[in-house]
Structure 1
Amino acid sequence: MISPLIAVAVLLAGSIVLIALRRRAERDIAVSARAALVTGETPVAPANQPDAAASLAAAEAVGSAMIQAGYTVETVQDVLSDIARVNGLPESEILVFPNAVLISARGGGQHQTGAVAGSGGQLLLSQVDELQRTADAARTGLLDPRSTVERIERIRQIAPAYGPVLRVLGYALLSGALSVLLGASWRGAALSAALGLVVGAALLVSERVPRRYGALLTVAIAFLVAVVVFALLRAGWGPGILAALLAPLVVLLPGVLLTTAVLELSMGHMISGAGRAAAGGMQLILLGAGIVTAGALVGVPSFDFHHEAQLLGPIAPWIAVAVFGVAISVHRSAPRRALGWILLVVYMAYAAQVLADLVVGGVLSAFVGALVVTPITALVARQPSGPAALVSFTPAFALLVPGALGLVSVADVLGGDSAGTSSLIATLSTMVAIALGVLAGSSLSNRMRRPAL
């Protein structure tokens, strides 16, 4: 009962901090809004003759960056519609896909149409943070179209805050910490960290590899990790190292894709939702192909994979959460000022999931975790030093998906056809639960509006 008691203490302490932060945020917003009226730092009205070409360029730049960052099409459409409106083009039509944006800028007798594809690669968390600030300024009229384009170009040039060696070490610590949360032994945690070094280095190399080779790299990484784990299992290392089969692959798990797909399908974006679901399903197939091929080559030991978690004492997982938060911040190059906020969010997410798991089980605990995390990240984003909501949500999400699926899905994949069906159902159920949790949490976030003047 020590871990649940710690979870209750974490949630209580976090709630006190968040309540204090919300009151301070409301006070600061009211003060800054009144000061803006006095100093004139308020959105200016658009010119009598709007510049459709400049506004279109700004919307294209922001839209391309946002879909690369992983925002839902609903969010991107809202931001681009606001940018068009504040620049005197309220009749504009915007169509967003997971990898492209189509914009028809119309208003004031002008009509400009453009399309832009999303750039490849994944944005750093520091880039996502600056992107959110730029989008907020552009959609409220505090940033003119030409300045918006210039800032997006500068954001794309932001270098990682940490060097490649630190980022690889961060991924190794991330893998080791996650394996502890999944019930690894000390040997399993060490193996996960060692495999994390290899996978982290491969991921950095893949940033310079053409995207057409991405599928081969995914299969190769999953195959390498599975071969090592299966070989050591056959050598008698015991089921305590089984977590090493999942922890080093956490970044390759398509949890974000599948959850976003469910969100977009529930909002009526059928094309985008179906496209993301297909991409996420393909990623699962690639990972499964690598693991199954390794099992066929090395052989899978004949012991029960549904073993009880071998936690390294009740305190170890809570230490691992801190290591995980710091490690993922270094690997994904989060802003340095965001580290404390990220730790607050991941601790709240893990505590909520621990308590929910005792009451409703693993899959529904993902719903509770997402429900708790979403309004917390929105509140954190309202703080003067707080990062964008997506920046603090990303590390917490990386805890929700593997923690909810655990090793059960991995065991199911290795168990045969009928077990594979159970694994598929568990995966889909978890994604739906997280998506519904995000939707419910978003409704709570929307209630935290700026106070009226």
Structure 2
Amino acid sequence: LWVLLRRSRRESRDSAPPTAKEPPAVVLDAMASLGAEMIDCGYPVGPTRSALDEMARSHGLSSAQAVVFPTSILVSSGAQESVQTRVVTAGETSALLYQVDAIDRIAGVARRGIGAASWVLAALEHVHTMPAPFSRAQRAGAYALLSAALSVLLGSSWPGVALAAILGTGVGVLLLGSERLDTVRRALIVVTAALGVAIVVLLVARYVDPGVLPVAVAPLVMLLPGGLLTIGVIELATGDIMSGAARVAAGAMRLLLLSAGLVAAGALVGVPSVATSHWPLGPVMPWIAVAAFGIGIGVYQCARPMSIGWVIVVLYVAYAAQVIGDVFFDGVLSALVGAAAMTPVAVVVARLRTGPPAFVSFLPAFWLLVPGALGLIGAADMFEGDSSGMGTLVTTVATMVSVALGVLIGMAATGSVHGLRNAPPESWMRRGLDVQPRATEP
């Protein structure tokens, strides 16, 4: 991997930046719009700020500066006697993986000044008109698949796998139907989904099979803030204190909402005693479940079809490294090993023409490592007064830190500390984004 990374690096950092061919106002508009789109994709503020800084230098605005927060972008430049500033809001929507792929390629073109800033503005507008590669019915079915796969990885039984698929279908339809709701109603959806899933699981565990208890987490996988918390810890570790603290606080609030639903269900139905299932799964099933999870998450999040195979490769590397790490270390440090192993692979894959951006591969891996699942269970125990809840929460924090450190180690090993960069921008990065530049006023 190290040799491949060295051979594929074609950056020319010592070359002088080209002269800007467009007014600074247009460049600032493009920078603000690109930054907002990257935040909507879920990028940490560090790589986002790095992309905007490189775009400014490549367009001749060496004095331009960008201030990036999870909810807003501010760019300013004093290149022409008077200071010009653009402020836009961000983080109000979330992008699907095919949109993340397109925006990453746009950022790669913008970094090197290939094409005018007006092309960047037009391409960003074009992203929102691109059709999704999968229909809503396919996405609902994929959510059932990824729920069933995650229940296998969490140690469920055969009845639990079937129950996870059924509940996953319902939760998937609920989430797809609530995509355009405001933040208040989405918060209620989180509690409602957790309450409904927990009631069904507890009833089945009481009267059919106690081995279905892990299913309480599997259908809620897309509501778990694993990626949000991990990215927040990464930002805290790299010095972006305000954005990191905001993401961690948002992730903790999501855990509390989910826990409220679980605790309410436990109070209504009662929590059965844990017992051994009569229908256990074999040792091979988790390895099959990793591929099923990759397909499910790829279809539900609308990744490009050619990217799903690469996502599965990264997932297998992360899971295999975590299993091997668990042999030598405990479960917390095994997450560090898994994250450190998957990062170079994701970066190498991102440098291939058919490979997705590294961030597209990272997100499913975050959900696979599921640091949020442990936190959800621990918070629910604390609501019930269980003294083991605090220990589980401490384990969750340690797991998040381990995943974050693993990603940082992998980024340092691949020379990508300043950003999750895609391949050097070439003509293929414009494929599917061939739009006419926006007309600019003289």
Q: TM-score, normalised by structure 2?
A: 0.88
* Cross-structure match for 2:18: 45
Q: Is the 8 A contact 1:124 1:334 kept in 2?
A: yes
Contact 2:159/2:279, CA 8 A, preserved across alignment: no
Residue correspondence of structure 1 range 51-200 to structure 2 within 5 A:
51-109=23-81, 111-118=83-90, 120-200=92-172
1:125 and 1:332 in contact (8 A); partners too: yes
Aligned-pair distance for 1:236? 3.8
Show the counterpart of 1:293: 264
SS of aligned partner of 2:370: helix
1:304 partner letter: V
Task: Find the partner of 2:342 among 373, 396, 412.
Answer: 373
Note if contact 2:209-2:277 (Cα within 8 Å) is conserved in structure 1.
no
Structure 1 residue 423: Cα displacement: 2.2
Instruction: Provide closer, same or farther for how the CA distance between residues 73 and 29 of structure 1 changes in structure 2, counting only shifts above 3 A.
Output: closer
Which whole-Å deviations, capped at 9, do the CAs of 1:37-60 have from their partners, x for residues lacking one?
xxxxx998224x751100111001
In structure 1, what is the Cα distance between the partners aligned to 2:264 and 2:18? 62
AA of the residue aligned to 1:244: V
Counterpart among 414, 419, 422 of residue 391 in structure 2: 422
Secondary structure of the corresponding residue to residue 320 of structure 2: helix
> Which shifted more, 351-360 or 408-417?
408-417
Separation in 2, partners of 1:177, 1:411: 23
Asked if structure 2 preserves the Cα contact closer than 8 Å seen for 1:44 and 1:142, the reply is no
Name 2:251's counterpart in structure 1: 280
2:225 maps to: 254
Amino acid at match of 2:200: V
Residues 145-171 of structure 1: CA distance to partner in whole angstroms, max 9, x if unpaired?
100000011112222210011000000
- Relative to structure 1, is the Cα distance of residues 408 and 285 closer, same or farther in structure 2, using a 3 angstrom cutoff? closer
3-state SS of paired residue (2:387): helix
Q: CA deviation at 1:417?
A: 3.8
8 Å contact kept, 1:43–1:141: no
Task: List alignment gaps of at least 5 residues for structure 2.
Answer: 425-442
CA distance in 1, matches of 2:51, 2:239: 18
Deviation at 1:215, TM superposition (A): 0.9
Q: Does residue 201 of structure 1 match 2:173?
A: yes
Whether 1:330 and 2:299 are equivalent positions in the alignment is yes
Of 64-73 and 260-269, deviating more is: 260-269
Letter in 2 for 1:299: G
Contact 1:168 1:201 in 2 (8 A): yes
Alpha-carbon contact 2:349-2:358 (below 8 Å) kept: yes
- For 1:27 and 1:402, locate their aligned partners in 2 and report how far apart those are by CA, in whole Å: 35
Count the aligned residue pairs: 418
Partner of 2:192: 220
Where do residues 311-390 of structure 1 align in structure 2 (5 Å cutoff)? 312-390=281-359
Distance 2:114 2:224 in 1: 38
Deviation at 1:189, TM superposition (A): 0.4
What secondary structure, in the 3-state scheme, does the structure 2 residue paired with 1:102 have?
strand
CA distance in 2, matches of 1:43, 1:343: 40
Whether the aligned pair in 2 keeps the contact of 1:264 and 1:270 (CA below 8 Å) is yes
- Cα 1:131/1:43, change in 2 over 3 Å: farther
Alignment deviations for residues 261-282 of structure 1 (CA, whole Å, 9 cap, x no partner): 1111112222111111110110
- Whether the aligned pair in 2 keeps the contact of 1:52 and 1:110 (CA below 8 Å) is no
| Correspondences of 1:392-407 after superposition (within 5 Å) | 392-401=361-370, 405=374
CA deviations over 1:169-214 (Å, ceiling 9, x no partner): 0000000011111111110100011100001001101112122211
* Inter-partner Cα distance in structure 1 for 2:238 and 2:7: 34
Counterpart-to-counterpart distance in 1, 2:288 and 2:16 = 46
Rounded Cα–Cα distance in structure 2 between residues aligned with 1:110 and 1:379: 43
2:368 alignment partner AA: L
- Give 1:445 deviation, angstroms: 1.6
* Counterpart AA for 2:222: V
Deviation of 1:82 after TM superposition, in Å, equals: 0.9
- Give the C-alpha shift of residue 333 in structure 1: 0.4
The corresponding residue for 1:444 is 413
**How far apart are the structure 1 equivalents of 2:90 and 2:372?**
31
Provide, for residues 350-374 of structure 1, a one-character-per-residue CA deviation record: whole Å limited to 9, x for no partner: 1111111122121111111111111
CA contact (8 A) 1:257 1:280 kept: yes
Contact 2:224 2:372 in 1 (8 A): no
Q: Is the contact made by 1:105 and 1:111 (CA closer than 8 Å) also made in structure 2?
A: yes
Q: Distance in 1 between matches of 2:343 and 2:378?
A: 26
**In the alignment, residue 84 of structure 2 is paired with which amino acid?**
Q
Residue range with higher mean Cα deviation, 420-429 or 67-76:
420-429
What CA RMSD, in Å, does the superposition of the two structures yield over aligned residues?
2.7
| Unpaired segments ≥5 residues, structure 1 | 1-17, 35-41
Measured against aligned partners, the alpha-carbon deviations of 1:419-442 in whole angstroms (never above 9, x if no partner) come to 221122121111111111111111
| TM-aligned CA deviation for residue 412 of structure 1 | 4.2
- Among 287, 300, 304, the alignment partner of 2:274 is 304
1:382 to partner: Cα distance = 0.6
Structure 2 CA distance for aligned equivalents of residues 411 and 420 of structure 1: 7
Tell me which protein shows more helix as a share of its residues. Answer: 1
* Match of residue 13 from structure 1: none
CA distance in 2, matches of 1:435, 1:248: 25
Aligned equivalents of 1:415, 1:293: Cα separation in 2: 10
SS in 2 for 1:91: coil
Distance 2:377 2:280 in 1: 16
Aligned residue identity for 1:87: H
Question: What is the identity, as a one-letter code, of the residue corresponding to 1:67?
Answer: I
Question: What is the TM-score when the length of structure 1 is the normalising length?
Answer: 0.86
Give 1:96's aligned amino acid: V
Q: Could you say if the C-alpha distance between residues 342 and 94 of structure 1 is closer, same or farther in structure 2, counting changes exceeding 3 Å?
A: same
Looking at structure 1, the residues matched to 371 and 204 of structure 2 have their Cα atoms a distance apart, in angstroms, of 22
